[in-house]
A = this chain, B = another copy of it.
Amino acid sequence: MSRSPLHAATIVDVALRAGVSKSTAARALAGYGSVSGKARQRVEDAARELDYQPNSLARSMITGQTNTVGVVIPDISSHFFANALRGISTAAREAGYELLLSSTDGDLGLERRAVDLLAAKRVDAIIVAPVSTEDTAHLEKLAEQGIAVALLDRPAPEVKRASYVSVDHVGASSMAVNHLLDLGHRQIGIVTEAVMPPGWQEAVDSGDALSLRPSAARLVGYRNALRGAGIRFRDEYVAHSAYSKSSARAATERLLRQYPEITAIYCTDSELSAGSFAALQDLEISCPDSISLIGFDDQDWATLVRPRLTVVEQPNYQLGRASAEEAIGAITDPGGARRNRTLSGRLIVRDSTGRPRAR
C-alpha cells in the first residue's frame, strides 16, 4: 500500500523496498557506476512494483540540464510556423529533447516575458522567431546565461552568438520575378508587407542583406531581378499591404486600377497571395491571360483553385528541423561559432503565370 495516492514513489522508496541504499538504487536505475547483478535485479523489480518514475526536476537541478528546448514564435496557427514547428518537434524528439512552447502574437512584451519564463525554467536552448530585428536585448542576455539561441526565419544581428536559419529570401524572390521576366513581363507589380526606410536601396547595396527581415529581403530580391534584366525599379509598383487577406485584396485592386499597364503581380507571402487571388476573382480579371500571378510559399489550396497558382516554395518543415539541429548542436558545443544556415526556395510553375497579354 502506498502512503498517499498522490505521493509518487521516490528513489528512497525504491531503495528501501529493494533493501539497498539510495546510491545503489540510483546506480542500478541510471546505469552508471557498478552494481552487482543481484542488486540490480532487486532494484529493478522494486521500481516496477512501485511504478517508480524519476523526477526530472530533481535530476535537472543537479545535472544543470533540462533536455528541453524553448520555442518562441509569433503565431502557431499560421501555415508557416505550424509546419516549421513540426520540423522542430521531430528533430527535438530524435535528439531526446522536449519542447516548451510560447506563442507571442507578434507582441514584443509577450516575447520578453516568454523568454524570461523559459530562462527561469532553465531550458537548454531557445529557438526564436523574433518580433523585432533591433529590440533584442532580452535575446542577447540568454547567451550570457549559457542558453543556446537559434533564430528562425527572422534575423537579429545584435545577438552575436546565435545561429540563424532561414530561406534565401533574396534569391528565392529573384527566382519568382525572373520567371515572370522570362515569360516576357516588363511591368511587374509586387504586393508586400515590407515597410522600407527612405534610401533603403543604397543601404542594401552597401550592406548585409542577411540582416533584413524576410519581407524586406523578398522586396530586395524583386528589385535585384529587375535590375538584372535592366529594368528600372519603380516605387509605384510596390503595393504595401498589412498582413491580412483583406488588406492584400484592397492593395491589389488599387494597384491594378492605378497602373493598368501592369501585366504581372508577385505576392511575397501566402496570406497576401490569397488576397490578391481573391481580388482578381472580384474584378473578373482573367488569369493568366490578362494578369499573371505568382506567390511565395506553397499552400494546399494552390492546386485547388483555378488557375492553379504558380509559387516559389519554401521548405517550412526543413527550416524547423534545421533550427532545432542548430539549437541542439549549440548546447553540446557552446564554444561553437555562430552559423548561418540558408536553405533554398524552389519554383513550382503552375497555371497562373503565362506570357503577357498583347498590347
Give me the interface of A with B, judged by CB distance under 8 Å: 5-6, 8, 51, 53-58, 60-61, 66, 68, 71, 75-78, 82-83, 85-86, 89-90, 93, 98-103, 110, 116-122, 141, 144-146, 245, 274, 277-278, 281, 299-301, 303-306, 317
Residue of B nearest to A58 (CB): B61
Across the interface, do B102 and A98 meet the contact criterion of CB distance under 8 Å? yes
List B contacts of A61 (CB < 8 A): 55, 57-58, 61
Across the interface, do A100 and B103 meet the contact criterion of CB distance under 8 Å? no
Across the interface, do B66 and A77 meet the contact criterion of CB distance under 8 Å? no
List B contacts of A305 (CB < 8 A): 301, 304-306
Known: A54-B120, A100-B100, A277-B304. 16 other contacts (CB 8 A): A6-B145, A8-B145, A53-B145, A55-B61, A76-B82, A76-B86, A78-B82, A82-B82, A89-B102, A98-B102, A300-B301, A301-B301, A301-B305, A304-B304, A304-B305, A305-B306
Q: Which of B83, B90, B102, B116 contacts A53 (CB 8 A)?
A: B116
List B contacts of A120 (CB < 8 A): 53-56
Q: Which of B83, B98, B102 contacts A77 (CB 8 A)?
A: B83
Instruction: Give the docked Cα–Cα distance between A5 and B142 (Å).
Output: 11
Instruction: Give the docked Cα–Cα distance between A275 and B100 (Å).
Output: 35
* Distance in Å: Cβ of A322 to nearest Cβ of chain B: 16
Residue of B nearest to A78 (CB): B82
Residue of B nearest to A64 (CB): B6
List B contacts of A102 (CB < 8 A): 89, 93, 98-99
Greatest chain B CB density within 10 A among A57, A119, A122 is at A57
Residue of B nearest to A105 (CB): B90
Instruction: Give the docked Cα–Cα distance between A122 and B68 (Å).
Output: 14
Residue of B nearest to A301 (CB): B301
Across the interface, do B66 and A76 meet the contact criterion of CB distance under 8 Å? no
- Known contacts A56-B122, A120-B53, A301-B304; A144/B5 CB under 8 A: yes
Across the interface, do A89 and B66 meet the contact criterion of CB distance under 8 Å? no
* Distance in Å: Cβ of A76 to nearest Cβ of chain B: 5
List B contacts of A145 (CB < 8 A): 6, 8, 53
